[in-house]
Chain A
């Protein structure tokens, strides 16, 4: 039987993007209480892009080499969470197109969720949320990362979380032999 150990998030750096000051402060405090070593915050997507771009240009900025996870609200002005996600996944000056992105939103309707999924979201957290939900999402990012898929129309974590039978003709590339598979060796 394997032993049970505890996670240590001390070496993690998280970026919280939230326009509401109260919620931003709360999320930052909660993540620090969960043990995350560094939690930076931006008040909207534009500010987050400036922050991430600066890290890309100067990776040792403020002692911060990279961001391990972005936790972003969706509805914000002038740049919302969806636009930020698209920038992270697609922009040439994005410092890490593979960074896990957790979208926090009160939008729980399927068209919106699909919109974020197709833009490359990693996990959703629907508001209202609890500490248990937050922990679940963080653990999902850490314990169950999905392969990234790159195609002309999509770049992001594999949208298929489960292997389900498809009715009719399978139009997607699903086999390794039909795609290039990239592994990192580090």
Chain B
């Protein structure tokens, strides 16, 4: 191993050496994948189509897969309702984590409404969010909206049903969230 390969070198370079180093390596990955620098290389459309089909199949299973998580969210809301605001930290933390997951998953599997609702739920349950009864109602409204999408398997924008779910949620936000939220 040369001096320059030593991880300590970065923190404590030998005297007279610069403290910045650029590493420029040959593109081994492109070599490995069979791509030459002067050649146009693509992923074949049929290969992409095969991967896309896997994605589509997973999308069909998605509502079934997340039903348990939705029921868990419903239970967290019910349990939190029986507690005082200062005892709801863990409930809000778990709801926030689930919202983060839903936010990433929904749109991936063709349920963008889940991503929309989960993104809003995530913002209302961040660490410094209040845990008051009003906020809990707000959380419950989001969970109800997510559940409706999952149970109804409302893909895409959901048409009129999707718009109605958005309206209901907006009414809840207007009612329970502070004006600047």
Contacts and interface: CB of A to CB of B under 8 A. Distances in A.
Interface of A: 2-9, 11-12, 20, 22-23, 26, 29-30, 33-35, 68-69, 75, 90, 92, 97-98, 100, 104-107, 127-132, 134-135, 138-139, 141-143, 145, 147-152, 155, 158, 173, 176, 178-184, 186
A30 B97 CA distance: 25
Contacts of B103: 106, 127-128
B153 interface: no
B65 A152 contact: no
Given A11-B32, A143-B35, 4 more contacts: A6-B43, A7-B33, A34-B50, A107-B100
Chain B interface residue count: which class? 35 or more
Nearest to A31: B51
A179 B33 contact: no
Contact of A30 (B10, B20, B55): B55
A149 B20 contact: yes
A145 B105 contact: no
Interface of B: 4, 7, 9-11, 17-27, 29-30, 32-36, 38-44, 47-48, 50-55, 58, 61-62, 65-66, 97, 100-101, 103-109, 112, 115
**What 3 A-B pairs are tightest by C-beta distance, nearest first?**
A128-B107, A127-B104, A106-B104
A150 B11 CA distance: 10
Contacts of A173: 18, 20
**Secondary structure call for the B interface:** helix
B51 A30 contact: yes
A103 B126 CA distance: 22
A106 B41 CA distance: 30
Contacts of B115: 128
Given A22-B58, A34-B47, A98-B25, A180 B32 contact: no
Of listed A151, A155, A178, residue having the most chain B CB within 10 A: A151
B43 A183 contact: no
A148 B142 CA distance: 44
A135 B61 CA distance: 23
